[in-house]
Chain A
Amino acid sequence: MNRTVRLRDPLTLVWAVLTVGTLLSAFTSGRSPSWSVLAVLIVMLIAGIKAHLVVAHFMELRHAPVQWRLVFEGWIVVNFVTTVVCYLGSVPR
C-alpha cells in the first residue's frame, strides 16, 4: 500500500513551520511587555510568513497565473503594513 504521507514531504514541512511559527509568535507576545514594537514586528512578520506559506503551498498559488499570486501575496503585505502603521501610531510616547 502506498503511503500518502512522507515526513520530508513539502506539505508536512510547511505544516511544521506553521505550527512552530504559531508557538513562537505566542511566546514572543506573552514574554514581552506591552508596547514592545519589536515584539509586534516579530509577531506580524511570523504571521506574514505563515500566510505566505498557506497561499503558496496549500492554496498552490505558486503554480498559478501571476495575477492571482499578486492578489493574495499583496493582501498579506497590505494587512501587515496597515497593522504595523496603526500600531506605531498608537504607541504612547
Chain B
Amino acid sequence: MHSDPVVRRRRSDRFLPGAEGIWIFLSADAVLFFLLLSSFSYERSLDPLGFNGAQSSLIAPAGIVNTVLLVTSSWFVANAVRSVRRSDGRAAAVLIGSAIAAGVAFAVIKIAEYSVTVQSGHTLTASPFFMFYFVITGIHLLHLVAGLVLLSILLWKLRTDGAVLGHRVLVESAASYWHLVDLLWLLIFPILYLVR
C-alpha cells in the first residue's frame, strides 16, 4: 500500500518503527490501561445500575469531539513521519505543529469537561464510577501532555536543526508513542462513555 520508496519492502523484510526499547515501554503502558479498564468493567458489573446512573452525567459530545481530534492528530503525525522519510522537513514541521494543536484542543476540552463535571457535584470521591472516570482519563491526559512535550521538542528540532531528518528512529519513536495515546483513548471513550 505504501508507495514511499523508503518504506516499500519485500514481504520477507519486516521492520519495527522507532527503537525496540520504546515498544517494550508502549506494551507495558498498554497493559497498565488494560488493568485499569478491566477493573472498571468488573466493578461496573457489581453495580451496573449505579454505574449507569453516574455515567449519564458524562458529556458524550465532548468525548466524541475529543476522539475525532485525537485520530486527526495521529493522522498528522503519521504523515509527518512520511515527510521526514522523504527529507521534507518543512512539511513535517507543519504536520507536527498541526498534531500539537489538535492535542492541545483535546486537553482544553478535557479540562473544561472536568470543570463542568466537578461543578455539578461529581467529584473523584462522589462515586466509584467517577473515581474510575477521573483516574483513567486523568492518567491518559498526563500521557497526552507528555506526548505534547515530545512532539514540541520534535517540532523545535525540525525547525532549527535540519540534521533531525536523519534521526528516523527518534522521529518514529515519538510518533509511535503518540499513536499509543490515540489507541488508548479509542478504548477508553467507548468503555467509559458508550457502554451502558
Residues of A within 8 A of B (CB): 2, 4-5, 10-12, 14-15, 18-19, 22-23, 25-26, 28-30, 34-35, 40, 43-44, 46-47, 50-51, 54-55, 57-61, 63-66, 68, 71-72, 75-76, 78-79, 82-83, 86-87, 89-92
Q: Which of A12, A18, A44, A78 contacts B190 (CB 8 A)?
A: A44
Inter-chain contact A15/B183, CB cutoff 8 Å: no
Select which of B91, B183, B194 is within 8 A of A4 by beta carbon: B91
Q: Which of these, A14, A25, A51, A79, contacts B194 with CB under 8 Å? A: A25
Given A29-B196, A47-B186, A54-B71, 11 new contacts (CB under 8 A)? A10-B2, A18-B186, A44-B195, A47-B187, A59-B180, A72-B27, A72-B30, A75-B31, A79-B187, A83-B191, A86-B41
Q: Known interface pairs A68-B23, A86-B41. Does A58 touch B78 (Cβ–Cβ under 8 Å)?
A: yes
A12: which B residues are within 8 A, CB to CB?
75
Chain B interface residue number, banded:
35 or more
Given A22-B68, A83-B37, A87-B41, are A43 and B190 also a contact pair (CB < 8 Å)? yes
Residues of chain B with a CB closer than 8 A to A5's CB: 79
The residue among B31, B38, B82, B196 with the most chain A CB atoms within 10 A of its own CB is B196
| Residues from chain A with Cβ under 8 Å of B190 in the complex | 25, 29, 43-44, 46-47
- B34 touches A (CB below 8 Å): yes
> What is the CA–CA distance of A16 and B145 in the complex, to the nearest angstrom?
25
Closest chain-A Cβ to B167's Cβ sits at a distance in Å of: 17
Q: Is the CB of B45 within 8 A of A89?
A: yes
In B171-196, the 8 Å CB interface with A consists of: 176, 179-180, 182-183, 186-187, 189-191, 193-196
For A49, the closest partner residue in chain B by CB is B186
Given A54, A57, A82, A91, which contacts B186 in the complex, CB threshold below 8 Å? A54
